[in-house]
Chain A
Amino acid sequence: MNDSTIVTESTKRYKWVGTRPIRPDGVPKVTGRALYGADLKLPGMIFGKILRSPHAHARIKSIDTSAAEKLTGVKAVITSKDLPEQKFDYIGPERVAVNFWHVTRNIMAREKVLYEGHAVAAVAAVSASIAEEAASLIKVEYEVLPHVIDVDEAMAPDAPLLFEDMITRGIEPAPTKPSNISKKLEFAIGDVAKGFAEADVVIEETFKTAAVHQAYIEPHACVAKAEADGQIEIWSSSQGHFAMRALTAQILGSRLGDIRVTPAEIGGGFGGKTVTYLEPVAATLSKKSGGLPVRLQMTREEVFRASGPTSGSSMWVKIGVKKDGTITAMDGLYKFQAGAFPGSPVMNGCLCGFASYDVPNQHAIGYDVVSNRPKAAAYRAPGSPISGFAVETVLDMCAKAIGMDPLEMRMKNVAKIGSPTIAGPKHAHAGFAETLQALYNHPAWKAPLGLNQGRGVACGYWFNAGGESGATMQVNADGTVLVATGSPDIGGSRASMALMAAETLGVDYNMVRATVVDTGSVGYTHVTGGSRVTFATGIAVVTATQNVIKDLCRRAAMIWDVDPEGVVWEDGHAKPAGANVGDFKPLSLREIAAKAAATGGPITGSAGVNPGGQAPGFSAQFFDVEVDPETGHVQILRAVVAQDVGKAIHPSYVEGQMQGGVVQGIGWALNEEYIYNAKGQLDNPGFLDYRCPVASDLPMIDTILVEVPNPVHPYGAKGVGEANICPPMAAIGNAITQAIGKRMTSLPMSPPRILETLSKG
């Protein structure tokens, strides 16, 4: 157990749920034997390489692949002409609207390249070096066009247009002129003008945040094999192999039933592996090479240049408070970079920014804006950390203005059951107030600070998700139990699924083995994202286990020759429901399993579920920092993280999620950013120049697990993977402000920025 863990409420005790067994996937991972996307080797496998644009914005005049095709060892060369055209149609609404006309153009450019690194063509050859040489032989004639990187510049009337016919959605009447603004969103409750009029203090500020990458350790990778009869097999590292199957089928015009995707281990995703870049390309190369398996993987540079970071932004937030700390109104304007194609998480930014607070008057406008950057992808609570930085910073300014403890001001306004949200529905779950109280009770909150030191606090909200999951359970003849799900294990789900199955079945955890299986072996399962797996796939596993228990009782009844209603399941044994049933010695799982053939064959259970009522995530954090006024370096001295976790199924994994989210937030706050040169090319596409935090940058991160169970889940679980990344940027900024006496409004708060702020007098 982490020494700093505090579990604030002793909820119902279980035998297995809430314990900390060794992770079932630990041995292959620490011995280097776990198989990731790029590890698979198949007989006859060839190697793919993608040719990418050197230009930020250019029209493709011609592509000549003849020299590449003639190179010895080359088996296939493809361009966008090898992928079917897609209909221009936004499927679904708002943030999740997918337009496959855009998706196919992101996978392989057609009329134009829209960012440096945009895929233009691909080759497959008998070796990686031949593939690389062949890619260099492809001649692309470009007409270079003016580009735009910054979101405010992209919104300017004279900005270079990425799509000459893009009319902003969400404005009525529709604009007559095209722009880079893909969509406008607006949400409101109450009357903000009235709310600001009631306030004693009204503060507004503008903010900028940089685009940051999810920075997963494992680059995108897959192997694909396309047979002549249309069947396709894919092995890939992703956050959802069912999603990869669906996306690949749509891009290639294939049927779902003709594609089987096997999940590899995944070396981090954080949202960035919910979309496809490689699978349709590898499958097309395989088909064109006559069915040879093709491995396609990105380099780290390609990951930075061509896969989605989250949005950078330009924002304005205004908040009104009374002298007693009551927030009367909140208003926000959020302009998010979508990258080269529409689809930033600006809707989430609008909906999450104020969601932690009980405020009757709220208003938010969001703009989704394209520019010559790689298309944004989801990143841990997508959108919420961005608007949260602005909102939580202005709250700190308000607290200072009225002379109130910033944590006490948040406690006074914290959202509770029945509080309104800007989308309309009222909050339905508790846990926010308990979390703030737990943070406030931490002994370090009021500890003294030294010279050049500061302390800052912030909160963060995330919806969490439910949705479709499948699970199957098999009981083997020796009483061991297999649990199969379709949720790639990113945050420890194999352990938590086994714990919930063992608890439900009443058997030893070590008798249960949880696996992640391919799309042909379990029911459809949505991506590992939205902090949904422990909740939704957990419910699928518990339901499958309950189905197995019913079957075990039926089989015990057969063995005893009694009615099935006369058998109950307790502590891993079938027992007579009462004395009138008969005097039978309880039958263990193993004893019933040994009679499987005689009682009807294999013992299996499955479940397909689509649960809702997932309960949102809420995290509150404070940081102590020390700023070196000569270098601008910020040292994180202390980080204390409280989060409403519902019930921690495996507390060590929950702590890991909380600490991981905070580390990514620290990087976002202090150093991470995409740096472009004048030509619109990324200057820092590697971990030397794109600086993620390393262990020596960090203190031990104290975790406070606040357990307010979700009654909808059989064991009370709430999603824990995302809310924790929302507070660090504002909390650290607030701490720096206290240390240096000047307000930080731009991310990252890197040494040059700190020095620049200090020099402003």
Chain B
Amino acid sequence: MTDLFRRLLCTKQGAIGVVILLVVTLICVFGPALAPYSPDHMDYLGRFAAPGVRHWLGADQFGRDELSRVLYGARDTVPAALLATLAGTLAGAIVGTLSAYAGGRWDEAIMRTVDAVLAIPGLLLALLIASTLGAGEETALLAIAIAFAPGMARITRSVALAARQEEYVAAAIARGESGTRIVLAEILPNVIAPVIVETTIRVAFAVMLLATLSFLGLGAQPPSSEWGLLVSDGRAYLHDAPWLVLAPGAAIGITAIGFNLLGDGLRDALNPRDER
């Protein structure tokens, strides 16, 4: 594990990704302590204040400090994206493994259905589910988890099928090892790498999807300072106060870049042979 981490830091993408995500994590944990104002503190004299000494990232239509809102907003965005991805991955991994394990007709039926669900664009599926369940942060999270599950099921299945045919599995069977031991000690460590890489990259996508759902009014609701909502709020004042859109937009982008870089770094660190 420490070895993997060292190799990760040796890749350019991995190192930058880790640094970005470290900062994002610190903001999630200490954001409220770092914020100069309360996110709901209204200063009517400072409405639409441009970025400056008083308000580093400017202020919004109620004179609320944009920096504080972005810092608080991290808590509404990043953990939810992580949770949604993990839930989707777990559900998908269970379906994928079962499908690979069942094999034959069941496998065929499950995978064709998974393919069919994948024929609905991710955002559209999340949108339909979110509108069914009603707008809100939790429902947006659930919608993303459901939208992610089929893709993860497909990946886990193909990886699990490939692993089952490997020689080291045959060797373990020949050695007379138990089924559980083969799955846990032989197959799992080998199949987990691509799943981890895919999951990491999907967190970036989840951050974007979550923000998009909020932007469309189906995710977090005011007065939350979720980043997508901040962009949506600021859009009305694009001409006079572009910082209201640029600051949370950059926050979304930087966080997503962090997860994308970490994913690419992990891929390189986990496959030392494949250097790109």
A and B together in one complex: no
Chain B residues with CB under 8 Å of chain A are: none
Q: Residues of A at under 8 Å CB distance from B?
A: none
